[in-house]
Structure 1
Amino acid sequence: MPARRVEVRDVRWPRQLMSLLVVLALLAGPPAVLLFLIGPPVSGWPTTTQMQAWVQQPLTEETLTAALTIGAWLLWLLLAYTVTVRAVTRLQATAAWLRQVPLPTPWQATASGMAGAAVFGVTTHPVTTAAPQPPPPSSAAGSPEQPADATPTPDDRAVSDDGILVPGGWLPRDTAESVAAAAALLWLRRRRDYRPRPLTPNAPDAHTARLPPAVASVQAALADATAPSHAPAPTDSFTALVGVLPTGGLRLSGPGTLPIGRGLLLTAALARHRHPTPTLVVTRAALTDLLGPDAEPLGARLPQLTIAEDPGDAVRIVEGAAPPRMVILAGDDCDADDVTRLAGVTAANGGRLVVLGVWPTGQTWHAAPTGHLHDPTHPDNPAPRLCVLDQVTAVDLLTVIAHREPTTPSPAPPSTPLPQAVTPGPRLPRQSTRGAPHRRPAASHQRLHLRVLGEPTLLIDGEPLTIRRSAAVQVLAFLAAHPNGADTRELTAAIWPGLPRRSLTGRLYTTLSDLRGAIRTASGLHVIDHTDDRYRLNPAHVDVDLWHLHAAIQQAATTVTDTAAAWRAVRDAYPADLAAGRTWPWLDPIREVTRRRVIDACAALADSENDPRRALVLLQDGVDIDPYNADLHARLVTTLTAIGDHEAANQLHNRYRRALAQAGIEDESLDHRATSSTITSRNSPSQP
């Protein structure tokens, strides 16, 4: 491969050298000619006599010559400016690319030096490794996979064992993992609450919208973080936070006051499973200062949060039967005596008071924008670092945690429409493939097969192609899920959310170049087309299993005869979830829409069966596809009851409730569907 690339450069360098000489001639030639023939454009400021003569007779040979000379110099300046801008742009792109090139390890550098000394040149070969094993498909765990390619540079996203830096704030590692787990639980609740419906073209899908960008940034940052070899046991971040704060109350002062206050809100909201009782009291004024206009409706949906009108109301809440562990209030318009009394009551109940404002008698710590707290009375003490969030990021994360969706789908327009099936169309213009090493001649009938239902795999003549970069696997899956293609912005935002685009363009180009080269080397086919800044899989060269599923769904949604066969074709075209086991942030909405269409077909098949035992098999098939869906379990238990197998219905129901409890999902969606006599007939389990 390297030898062929060198040959290509040898062919191109004379043309590049000629272009450089032409540009230099255009830059240096006109000034030299003008200076030699005419001289400098301006030899000095005109005198009064010359100005009067010019006014009396403006069009003379000298004035016309001067005007033409000045025009020629302006054109040259425009040319020089254009060349300079292009050169700077090219240098910036080169610098961005160089930042993505991984530095060699000491062993690699030593080996390269020895090889260079031996053969007076460096010969490299592509290193192929096995595809990364996907993590266990535990949706509730919320721990994304570790990508195989290089992690972002420190300029992009700072990641450490203690925490992660995302746009809009910094989160401790355990807090970020709790956010990812909350997002995974939200998708599980959506799966549990969905009710199958008849297959129709472009059927509306309620509650499949993407989660806020802040959540995707947290998930991606966790994926970039390198997991330690001995991961510590999960910690109670809220209890650890309470232990950092002094017992007698604390006033925060400094630019990090409000960002830290929002971090306290998030940490308390995430403590629901470890602390079932309310853990935080916040005054209405403090909540408004922290969250802005979204404070009231959002605070009302946070079960760990109790809103107090003023410090006096907060005292009554703290003295109640279940005292909270922390109180936050705004002290600008609060009575100092009330605040002092609240501090004493809170400390007596083992809690902490945090004042965001004026409190003359309390101790004050400086809050830095980074989240560090500094005690001025003990400057040598280590400064603890707390979670810090801006208002937008805090509202986004708290919205996901507080999210409660109705069980009955609303007739809203589709938030994630199912892509149309793709059929091979006219060939798009292909890019030059000169220099591809050892390319296999492509037969006219040869097509590759991309499998994204299950583990993403690209098959060439039935053999899987090793793809070195996990980002390249993501690109293939994303383009398979978007048959109409995607531009650079869409790809970078999906694969590397939360990072500035300026640092990602070079990374995307490197990933695509490596992927295209690997495919061309193995098959001789050009699979990814690039036209008008849109990347698209070429349907004439690659066959995608997801596209066959889309075609079956469209056929089943529009057919009026032999509907059972059309529904069965949908089920047969779905061997597994889209990119099963992967936790890419962009994947959940598309995966959920696809899964819903398949269980729609399973439910329709079961409803069309007159034999309850055959319907039982079809419903069990749907439960295998989505083991968290409550409606499918209710249908399954009802069918078991109808055939008289009450013991199996009871066992199924109990296993299902245990599965929901193990996943951390409340089972409030179950009770309202069943009467007291048939509750076990309405909700049955499958082991997820």
Structure 2
Amino acid sequence: MRWPRQLMSLLFVLAFLVGPPTVLLTVIGPPLRGWPTTDQLRAWLQQPLTEETLTAGLALGAWLIWLLVAYTVAVRTIIRLHATTAWLRRVPLPTPLQATASGMAGAAVFGITTNTITDAPPQPAQPAATGTAAFHDETAPEDHRDPVLREDGVAVAGGWLPRDVAEQVTAAAALVWLRRRRDYQPHPTHPDDTDLTPLPPTVTAVQAALADTPTTPPSDGIAALEALPAGGVGLTGPGALPVGRGLLVTAILAGQRHPSTSLIVTKATLALLLGPAAKTLGRRLPLTIVDNVDDAAQLLQPVSPAAGGFIPGQHQDEPSSGRSHQTIVLLNEHDGDEKQLTRLAETGTATAALTVVLGKRPDGPDWHANSTGHLHDPHHPGMPSPRLCVLDQTAATDLLTVIARPEPTPPHPATERPSLPYAGSPELPLSRQVDRHGPQRLPTTPQHRLHLRILGDPQLLIDDEPLAIRRSASLQVLVYLAIHPNGANTAQLTDAIWPGLPRRSLTGRLYTALSDLRSTIRAASDLPVIDHSDDRYRLNPVHIDIDLWQLHATTHHAATALVPAAAAWQGVLNAYPADLAATRAWPWLDPHREATRRRILDLCVALAAKDSDPHRSLQLLQDGIRIDPYNADLHRLVGRALTALEEPEAAAELQHRYQQFLTQVGFDNGPSPRLSFANTRRL
């Protein structure tokens, strides 16, 4: 029972509100006994620190603290009363029969006689914890982010990213999913979905913050580096290491956009910045790791193209272009003695390299970095204070994971797989329109038809007319529950919709989204759409049709029924007009969107394999390419089918167009894509 704790809290607040002013009035008296006279002011100016003035100052400070606490309590009380009043206005009055039943059975029994979701009182907004996503504001009408960027950047748990760096992170995350689409090999019976694990939490928090925001012109990431003085700088203060991690991420992202930009870092500095992850992650990152300062200085020596020397950041198959590229050297003050660091700085200045020392630099300049990423030049206090990316170890590791080259070996078979929908799964309910025995009949005839369309642009339709859903979170709840027909609890919903925010501050926002959604549906239809029992929310399949469930039923029928492959495939194409929530960039969607697409490709390859007509088989595979133009295995199968039909020129042309297409979206011919911002926000 919570009432004893609540009673003790109330008594403590009352004691604090009543006790201090009583003591102050009894011992010291009122804070002001009238305005001071001229003689009193003159005496105070001549001798300001007296026992009387100190006592008056302390008393005034105590009164100010008490007033602040009293104001906070009053505001919280008004908010609580307003929320309770709004909830009471929405509570429907019971019918006479309900009143009689409630009197006989009791309020407790009456409260559990239905599992339909009820309106919960909107809870007061809790202040966002430090380091959570800056786009999230409890008071914002769009309840998952702020409408205005704070200092043109994104704050996440563990740091802050400038807007251009955050945009590059989202592009890198999109290319991760493109690589997974490219490398997936459709399998008719045993699909391999071990690579569908969601991206790290920091990455999804950045994606969520930028979701559905206007895309700004992509930046190359050099602007942040240009904020530092030419030749380099030493960074001191509490923000030196967080800024160093931010520079590490920023420089690598800049190198992905511009291969002529390279990064050199000492082994000790990388371990200092990333901790245990430096050893495993460092070898997968596009940077040069050296043992000491002398090795870094050696790499900075001007290299003649004819000498065939190594230029940091240049790929072996790229022609040398002299010293036109920019090199960033990142090290700490303990990597060498004063003579070594000075020699490295001189070499860097001669070769236009940017040398950043985490600590004091022997030849200067040294800038102070605070914990928020703002840099200050102590010799020029009037100059603007640039703000660079700041990250802790966890956030930096999360971001670098999506930038690094993929592991050469596949994940261990014991790796936990995400909970994803599979076509034909017995846990997925079949839509009431589709059943192998024919349409099912509802026990009653509803007044309205509700249809949720999530393949393509998500929309809730009532009598074939779209219903406007004001809150993005409310729409996400509908889509999430449609993908999870067995339901989801509060923690799962809040973690998906508001990544990077503490759960304790999100329960009220979820209740608000659910209450607003239910009120919107109730205004157009009296059908209970969302059921709530045992802390799990579910969509009621009796009252709502969902195109994704229709697709699952259709694919299951196509895979098991004894019908011609062409007819079965046409039914699947009709049921799959577009990708899952194709117009939305919610980060939690990516694994489910890809899993749904893969089930279609698996069926496509299976039907093509069992079709005896090679021309029909080729048509099926070409349809699969139209569904996923990034998949390499489908292009290989189509090329093989064209060759079998004695059309080698068409097969060669297909592969040529495919390679051109991959290059346009940012893939090179290797296992890891170059960073490109072309069409990567909503893939």
Give the TM-score of the pair, scaled to structure 1: 0.69
Partner of 2:291: 309
Q: Which amino acid aligns with 2:235?
A: L
1:261-285 CA-partner distances (Å, limit 9, x unpaired): 0001101111233321461111111
Q: 1:279 aligns to what?
A: 262
Cα pair 1:252 1:356 within 8 Å, conserved? yes
Distance 1:251 1:407, change over 3 A: closer
Partner of 1:185: 175
User: Which residues in structure 2 correspond to 1:374-393 (within 5 Å)?
Assistant: 374-393=376-395
Alignment match, 1:222: 210
Question: Is the Cα–Cα contact under 8 Å of residues 281 and 327 in structure 1 kept in the other structure?
Answer: yes
User: In structure 2, how many angstroms separate the alpha carbons of the residues matched to 1:571 and 1:409?
Assistant: 32
CA contact (8 A) 1:452 1:546 kept: yes
Shift of residue 96, structure 1, vs aligned partner: 11
Moved more, 531-540 or 317-326: 317-326
Q: Is the 8 A contact 1:252 1:364 kept in 2?
A: yes
Aligned residue for 1:281, secondary structure, equals strand
CA change 1:634–1:560 in 2 (3 A) is same
Structure 1 residue 161: deviation in Å?
A: 5.9
Give per-residue Cα distances to partners, 1:73-96, cap 9 Å, x unaligned.
xxxxxxxxxxxxxx9999598499
Output the amino acid matched with 2:659.
R
2:258 partner SS: coil
Q: What residue in structure 2 maps to residue 537 of structure 1? A: 539
Q: Distance in 1 between matches of 2:200 and 2:335?
A: 34
After superposition, where does 1:189-588 map in structure 2 within 5 Å? 189-200=179-190, 203-223=191-211, 227=214, 233-237=217-221, 239-277=222-260, 279-303=262-286, 305-319=287-301, 320=303, 321-323=310-312, 325-404=327-406, 411=413, 414-418=417-421, 420-422=427-429, 443-444=445-446, 447-554=449-556, 559=560, 564=565, 570-588=572-590
Deviations 1:452-493 (A, max 9, x none): 112112222222222222222211111101111112222122
Matching of residues 69-108 of structure 1 within 5 Å: 94=80
Determine the C-alpha separation between the residues in 1 that align with 2:418 and 2:606. 23
**Aligned AA (2:220):** D
Once the two structures are superposed, residues 44-75 of structure 1 have per-residue CA deviations (whole angstroms, 9 ceiling, x without a partner) of xxxxxxxxxxxxxxxxxxxxxxxxxxxxxxxx
1:611-651 Cα deviation digits (max 9, x unpaired): 22111110111111111001101111221222223333233
Question: Do the aligned partners of residues 374 and 161 (structure 1) sit closer, same or farther apart at CA in structure 2, a change above 3 Å counting?
Answer: closer
Question: What is the letter of the counterpart of residue 254 of structure 2?
Answer: A
**Partner of residue 112, structure 2:** none
Q: Larger deviation: 597-606 or 311-320?
A: 311-320
Q: Which deviates more from structure 2 when the two are superposed, residues 453-462 or residues 523-532?
A: 453-462
TM-score, length-normalised on structure 2?
Answer: 0.69
Query: Residues of 2 paired with 1:533 and 1:570: CA distance?
Result: 35
Output one character per residue of 1:243-298: Cα deviation in whole Å (capped at 9) or x when no partner.
22223432111000000000011011112333214611111111011000000221
Deviations 1:502-559 (A, max 9, x none): 44323222221121122122121010111122211011111212123233445566x4
Q: Distance in 2 between matches of 1:312 and 1:552?
A: 66
**How big is the shift at 1:405?**
5.1
Classify 1:417/1:509 alpha carbon distance in 2 versus 1 (closer, same or farther; 3 Å): closer
3-state SS of the aligned residue for 2:254?
A: coil
Q: Which runs of 5+ in 1 are unaligned?
A: 1-22, 29-86, 102-143, 426-441, 671-687
* Counterpart contact for 1:283–1:309, Cα < 8 Å: yes
Q: Secondary structure at the match of 1:241?
A: helix
Greater Cα offset, 410-419 or 247-256? 410-419
Check whether the contact 1:242–1:325 (CA below 8 A) recurs between aligned residues.
no
Deviation of residue 385 (structure 1)?
A: 0.7
* Alignment map for 1:120-139 (pairs within 5 Å): none
Q: Deviations over 1:311-360 (max 9, x none)?
A: 01111122254255111112225211011110111111111111113444
Change (3 A) 1:153 1:302: closer
Structure 1 residues 423 and 186, CA gap change in structure 2 (3 angstroms): same
Residue type of the alignment partner of 1:236: D
Asked if structure 2 preserves the Cα contact closer than 8 Å seen for 1:188 and 1:665, the reply is no
Aligned to 2:636: 634
Provide closer, same or farther for how the CA distance between residues 614 and 409 of structure 1 changes in structure 2, counting only shifts above 3 A. farther
Matched to 2:174, the amino acid is: A
Aligned AA (1:314)? A
Query: Which stretch shows the higher mean deviation, 314-323 or 574-583?
Result: 314-323
Q: 1:612 to 1:95 in 2, by over 3 A?
A: farther
Contact 1:556/1:563, CA 8 A, preserved across alignment? no
Give the Cα separation in 2 of the matches to 1:234 and 1:561. 52
Distance 1:274 1:168, change over 3 A: same
* Contact 1:372/1:384 (8 A) holds in 2: yes
| Alpha-carbon shift at residue 364 of structure 1 (Å) | 1.3
In the alignment, the residues of structure 1 paired with residue 671 and residue 238 of structure 2 have an alpha-carbon distance, to the nearest angstrom, of 44
Range with bigger deviation, 642-651 or 311-320: 642-651
Contact 1:367 1:373 in 2 (8 A): yes
- Could you tell me how far 1:175 is from its partner in structure 2? 0.3
Q: Is the contact between residue 325 and residue 352 of structure 1 (CA under 8 Å) also seen in structure 2?
A: yes
Identical residues among aligned pairs (%): 55
Mapped to 1, the partners of 2:546 and 2:561 lie a distance apart of 27
Letter in 1 for 2:279: E
C-alpha spacing 1:544/1:595, structure 2 compared with 1 (3 Å): same
Aligned residues: 517
Q: Does the 8 A contact of 1:157 with 1:221 survive in 2?
A: no
- Rounded Cα–Cα distance in structure 2 between residues aligned with 1:216 and 1:537: 26
Q: CA deviation at 1:157?
A: 10
Quote the residue 1:150 is aligned against. Answer: 141
Kept after mapping to 2: 8 A contact 1:96/1:503: no
Contact 1:447 1:540 in 2 (8 A): no
SS in 2 for 1:668: coil
CA contact (8 A) 1:97 1:506 kept: no
SS of residue paired to 1:271: helix
- C-alpha distance in 2, partners of 1:424/1:618? 26
Code of the residue aligned with 2:227 in structure 1: it is V
Equivalent position of 1:3 in the other structure: none
CA offset digits 1:592-613 (Å, max 9, x no partner): 1110011000011111122221
Q: Secondary structure at the match of 1:471?
A: helix
Distance in 2 (alpha carbons) for counterparts of 1:410 and 1:569: 37
